[in-house]
């Protein structure tokens, strides 16, 4: 039975990844400091092959059993989280990634870094291919996240080149689904929570900035395939269906069946104007492409939020 360690495993994406690994018959060690994750995301897991360790990845971690795979997802991910935790975000991207890579090296385990489309910053090339170096403001408020991830990518490549660690880097584009926190500030939970409560839907700027939203099951499948591939260089995983944020707000409102008005708010500093993954590389190397249509993904997410709200959470 292979053993996989997932840092950030009590978060939104990490908990879905733990589910997938357990269903594939892996033993899973989930490491999380519960900064932005929650035990609720893993409370349904009853398997004896699942271990939870409350630990901050910026600190050294020893694991006294063989490890086959290390998935490093620990990091604040929502703009309101990383703006609230700027130093911690830089530390988990640097020291945290160093510790996770050290574990993979010691155990001769495969390693996967959860990087982000934010490494492209406010892109001047559209759609974004992996060979685009990006357009990031290092000293703006978002710089703490973007540069932490860019440094994490550099560190991962150095561990591969100098230490021979079997590394992989996924650049994740906006992903949504059940277990996002209603108040995490990202577009999907904000809009769905507001539409459900009949409150105004807060669209930042004039809503003409674009994003491309991927359902979580598709993302997890892409991550899984990448870790088991031979590709060392970064691979974009995301859904190329691009839309404006205003169109996205309207799609959420339609699925919820809500009459909430749209309310325009100031655009955050350095908010990227466009974002769309070029996924030719994932298609070619991994045979991967997203399968879940936006409307279906939104319906599944809505069911989850309704259940959580009816349980008073
Ligand atoms: P999330 O906030 O739900 O999950 C992050 C998890 O990491 C949380 O459980 C948090 O408690 C944990 N964590 C944070 N700092 C830690 C530390 N020092 N030690 C241990 N655990 C720590 O966010 P998510 O959306 O699930 O994101 C997971 C990863 O994927 C992140 O690395 C994020 O940058 C990346 N990513 C996500 C998206 C997306 O759209 N969801 C897009 C691009 C990249
Ligand atoms: N956004 C918005 N209203 C909100 C939250 C976000 O208009 O209440 C916008 C945000 O400005 C950005 C897009 O939605 O243009 C996606 O934001 P999110 O935080 O989900 O992810 P990002 O792509 O910015 O990391």
The CATH number of the domain holding residue 110 is 3.40.50.720
Residue 73's domain comprises: 3-175+213-237
- Determine the distance separating the centroid of ligand 1 and the alpha carbon of 118, expressed in angstroms: 14
The closest residue, in CA terms, to atom 15 on ligand 1 is: 75
**Residues 182 and 296 both lie in one domain:** yes
- For the stretch 92-137, pLDDT in tens is 999 999 999 999 999 999 999 999 999 999 999 999 999 999 999 9
pLDDT at 44: 96
Q: For tokens 């209603």, what's the residue?
A: 182
The answer to whether 100 touches 7, Cβ cutoff 8 Å, is yes
In a domain, 101, yes or no: yes
**Residues 138 and 202 both lie in one domain:** no
The answer to whether 220 touches 16, Cβ cutoff 8 Å, is yes
- Bridge-partner residues for 113, per DSSP? 72, 169
pLDDT at 183: 86
In a domain, 280, yes or no: no
**Ligand nearest to the Cα of 73, by number:** 1
Q: In the chain, which stretches have pLDDT less than 50?
A: none
Catalytic residues: 145
- The DSSP call for residue 274 is -
The closest residue, in CA terms, to atom 14 on ligand 2 is: 187
- Determine the distance separating the centroid of ligand 2 and the alpha carbon of 163, expressed in angstroms: 38
**Ligand nearest to the Cα of 145, by number:** 1
For 81, the enclosing helix (H) or strand (E) is: helix 79-84
Is 215 close to ligand 1, i.e. is its CB under 6 Å away? no
In a domain, 287, yes or no: no
**Residues 103 and 42 both lie in one domain:** yes
The closest residue, in CA terms, to atom 4 on ligand 2 is: 187
For 53, the enclosing helix (H) or strand (E) is: strand 50-54
- Cα 169 → chain centroid: 12
Q: How many domains does the chain have?
A: 2
**Residues 71 and 90 both lie in one domain:** yes
Is 10 close to ligand 1, i.e. is its CB under 6 Å away? yes
pLDDT at 264: 98
- Determine the distance separating the centroid of ligand 2 and the alpha carbon of 213, expressed in angstroms: 11
Number of alpha carbons in the 13 Å side-chain half-sphere of residue 153: 22
What's the CATH number where 197 sits? 3.90.25.10
Among residues 3, 65, 8, 81, the alpha carbon closest in space to that of 38 is found at 8
Is 212 close to ligand 1, i.e. is its CB under 6 Å away? no
The closest residue, in CA terms, to atom 3 on ligand 2 is: 203
**Residues 131 and 261 both lie in one domain:** no
Is 169 close to ligand 1, i.e. is its CB under 6 Å away? no
- Determine the distance separating the centroid of ligand 1 and the alpha carbon of 222, expressed in angstroms: 17
pLDDT at 261: 98
**Residues 231 and 263 both lie in one domain:** no
**Residues 195 and 217 both lie in one domain:** no
Which of 79, 82, 193 for a ligand 2 pocket mutation test, highest count of atoms within 8 Å of Cβ?
A: 79
Backbone angles phi, psi at 156, to 5 degrees: -65, -45
Among residues 17, 144, 129, the alpha carbon closest in space to that of 72 is found at 17
pLDDT at 119: 98
- Determine the distance separating the centroid of ligand 2 and the alpha carbon of 272, expressed in angstroms: 9
pLDDT at 203: 98
Three-state DSSP at 64 gives coil
Distance CA 134, CA 164 (A): 27
**Residues 266 and 220 both lie in one domain:** no
**Residues 226 and 192 both lie in one domain:** no
Contacts of 126 (CB under 8 A, 6+ apart): 274, 276
In a domain, 23, yes or no: yes
């Amino acid at each position: 039975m292979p053993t996989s360690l997932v840092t950030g495993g009590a978060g939104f994406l990490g908990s879905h990844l733990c589910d997938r690994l357990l269903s594939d018959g892996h033993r899973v060690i989930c490491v999380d400091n519960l900064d932005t994750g929650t035990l609720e995301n893993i409370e349904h897991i009853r398997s004896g092959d699942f271990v939870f360790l409350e630990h901050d990845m910026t600190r050294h971690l020893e694991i006294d059993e063989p490890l086959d795979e290390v998935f490093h997802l620990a990091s604040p991910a929502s703009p309101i989280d990383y703006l609230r935790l700027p130093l911690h975000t830089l530390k988990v991207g640097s020291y945290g990634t160093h510790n996770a890579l050290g574990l993979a090296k010691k155990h001769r385990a495969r390693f996967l870094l959860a990087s982000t489309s934010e490494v492209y910053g406010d892109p001047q090339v559209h759609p974004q291919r992996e060979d685009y170096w990006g357009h990031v403001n290092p000293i703006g408020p978002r710089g703490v996240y973007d540069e932490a991830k860019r440094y994490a990518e550099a560190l991962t490549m150095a561990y591969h080149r100098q230490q021979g660690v079997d590394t992989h880097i996924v650049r994740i584009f906006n992903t949504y689904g059940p277990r996002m926190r209603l108040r995490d500030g990202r577009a999907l939970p904000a809009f769905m929570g507001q539409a459900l409560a009949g409150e105004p839907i807060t669209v930042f700027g004039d809503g003409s900035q674009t994003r491309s939203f991927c359902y979580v099951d598709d993302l997890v499948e892409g991550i899984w395939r990448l870790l088991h591939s031979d590709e060392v260089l970064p691979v974009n995983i995301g859904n190329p269906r691009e839309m404006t944020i205003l169109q996205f707000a309207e799609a959420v409102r339609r699925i919820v069946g809500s009459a909430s008005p749209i309310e325009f708010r100031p655009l955050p500093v350095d908010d990227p104007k466009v974002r769309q993954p070029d996924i030719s590389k994932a298609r070619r190397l991994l045979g991967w492409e997203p399968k879940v249509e936006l409307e279906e993904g939104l319906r599944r997410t809505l069911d989850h939020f309704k259940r959580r709200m009816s349980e008073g959470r």
